[in-house]
Amino acid sequence: MNYSLGKTLIGIIDADSHFDSDYLREVVATFQNSFYDLVQTRVDVYNTVDNLTIMQNFEFSIYNALLQMARTNWGSALASGNGQFVTLKMAKNVGWSSSLLEDCEFSLKGLLKGYYGTFLNTVSVKQEGVSNLNKLIRQRTRWCQGGLQCLRIYGGAIMKAKHLQTIVKTFIIFFLMVPYLSIIVVPSSIISVSVLIFYAFYRPLIGLAIIFTLLFTENLVNTLMIEKQWHESNLEPPKNHLKIFRIIFSFAFYRWVLAFIPYRAIIRQLKGNDSWLKTAHS
């Protein structure tokens, strides 16, 4: 059978995903009205039954979506976890890989060969969130270690690629280096918080004023980011504004729970342990 390499699309969608015909129509329309060979759609979580899955949905539908929009505006989105579509031409010329973050590796190999991606924010593929903390930690450790592998294999080639803009190179290298940066940022943050708490006892007014200012600034930035995402996508914001603040407050603890994952990933990488278990769903 004679397939058109540029018009035949391949979708990579997880078995636990939910989507409808409007989703597929939007994907096809994006390819028809652009020159991209890769389209990454927004990912939402449908089983928001507890705080852990609510935080994952918030992470995917807000933060990751904004990150992908920034990547698109600055050069190219990256395939990310679920709901990605590529032309048959790109798939044949790039080829899938076997790293622990195979979709990111596919995107990087594609960039090196001149294939660019975009992010579709107006529709989403809905997947099942991980409701067990231990399973979530294993999943994120695999993702983190996969990023380290991509940095080791493709970091130098990305920096040397003459056809890639400096902003694209900077964004990608910074993203892949986050685990190494985290081993500095996490202990520094713990020390800073400890000093602030001690200072609040020593100089209550000044200490509390600093803590309040930092918390207010962080929550203001988070709120503005959320409002931007809700405005630019078809996400329906919660009618209860207290729920928004509860989510933002909870997300701070969620990030701290996952803050030590880079240490696990780096240790596994140093040991040469690249085994992994598929994310278990209920």
Residue 1 pLDDT > 60: no
| CA–CA–CA angle 46, 52, 269 (5° rounding) | 105
pLDDT computed for residue 135 by the predictor: 93
- What digits encode the pLDDT tens for the residues 30-76? 999 999 999 999 999 999 888 899 999 989 988 899 889 889 988 89
What average pLDDT does this structure show over 5-17?
A: 86
Assign 185 a pLDDT band (cuts: 50, 70, 90): confident
Q: What is the CA radius of gyration of the chain?
A: 20
Q: Which amino acid is at 191?
A: I
94 backbone φψ class: left, alpha, beta (φ>0; ψ -120 to 50): alpha
Distance CA 64, CA 58 (A): 9
H or E element in which residue 118 lies: strand 117-127
Residue 179 pLDDT > 60: yes
Phi and psi (nearest 5°) for 95?
80, 145
For residues 72-103, b (16+ Cβ closer than 10 Å) or e, as one string?
beebbbbbbbbbbbbbbbbbeebeebebbbbb
- What digits encode the pLDDT tens for the residues 207-250? 788 878 887 787 777 777 777 766 666 666 666 666 777 777 78
**Collapsed DSSP state (helix, strand, coil) of residue 7:** coil
Residue 100 pLDDT > 80: yes
Average pLDDT, the chain: 87
